[in-house]
């Protein structure tokens, strides 16, 4: 028991919400507009909204609108964003897709002018069903949506595909923003 407690204490494990690896005197952060190296117009602006929401949710840093009033600056670029079919029915029509996004990012301490964290490839790639026959209406992911099981059966194939693609996109960006915050705040 004692050895296990030393192992956990020595591995540097912290709770992500604490932001232990951020400079203790840092109170504010400016999130610079991320670049977009993809063919998906506006994906960087959409991701920025998720990143700002994730930072605000942890109550460790206050987001400011200008680097002039910030202690830290987060910047980056969306490197890849794509959707690819991964499962098919008997006539080779896609039944589910993988939505993937990869970004590079860095966090700069504006007081010391030093980069205190950077990552070349942070990603998220959840799978999402797009046809009614492949949607399991009892999964936690489905139950968090604003749909009931019976709604899926009454939707057209296009409505089903659009609604589930939007859910997969939301999941992907939420996970990516969360991973980025945890990595940044804990120095991974």
Domain ranges of the chain: 17-186
Structure-block tokens of residue 34: 């991320």
| Bridge partners for 73 per DSSP | 30, 108
CATH topology of domain 17-186: Double Stranded RNA Binding Domain (3.30.160)
Residue 131 CA to residue 159 CA, distance in Å, equals 9
pLDDT in tens, the chain (188 residues): 444 444 444 444 444 444 567 998 999 999 999 999 999 999 999 999 999 999 999 999 999 999 998 999 999 999 999 888 877 878 887 777 788 899 999 999 999 999 999 999 998 877 766 555 555 455 556 545 655 556 666 666 666 667 767 777 888 899 999 999 999 988 76
Rg of the chain over Cα atoms, rounded to whole angstroms, equals 20
pTM for the model: 0.75
């Amino acid at each position: 028991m004692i050895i296990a407690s030393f192992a956990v204490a020595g591995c540097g494990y912290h709770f992500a919400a604490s932001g232990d690896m951020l400079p203790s005197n840092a109170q504010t952060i400016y999130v610079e507009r991320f670049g977009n190296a993809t063919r998906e117009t506006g994906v960087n602006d959409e991701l920025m909204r998720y990143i700002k929401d994730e930072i605000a949710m942890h109550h460790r840093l206050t987001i400011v609108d200008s680097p002039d009033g910030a202690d830290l600056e987060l910047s980056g670029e969306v490197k890849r964003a794509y959707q690819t079919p991964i499962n098919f029915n008997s006539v080779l029509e896609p039944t589910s897709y993988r939505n993937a996004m990869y970004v590079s990012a860095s966090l700069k301490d504006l007081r010391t002018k030093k980069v205190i964290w950077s990552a070349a490839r942070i990603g998220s790639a959840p799978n999402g069903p797009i046809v009614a026959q492949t949607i399991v209406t009892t999964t936690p992911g489905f139950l968090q949506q604003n749909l009931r099981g019976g709604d899926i059966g009454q939707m057209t194939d296009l409505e089903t595909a659009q609604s589930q693609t939007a859910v997969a996109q939301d999941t992907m960006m939420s996970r990516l923003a969360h991973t980025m915050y945890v990595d940044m705040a804990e120095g991974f």
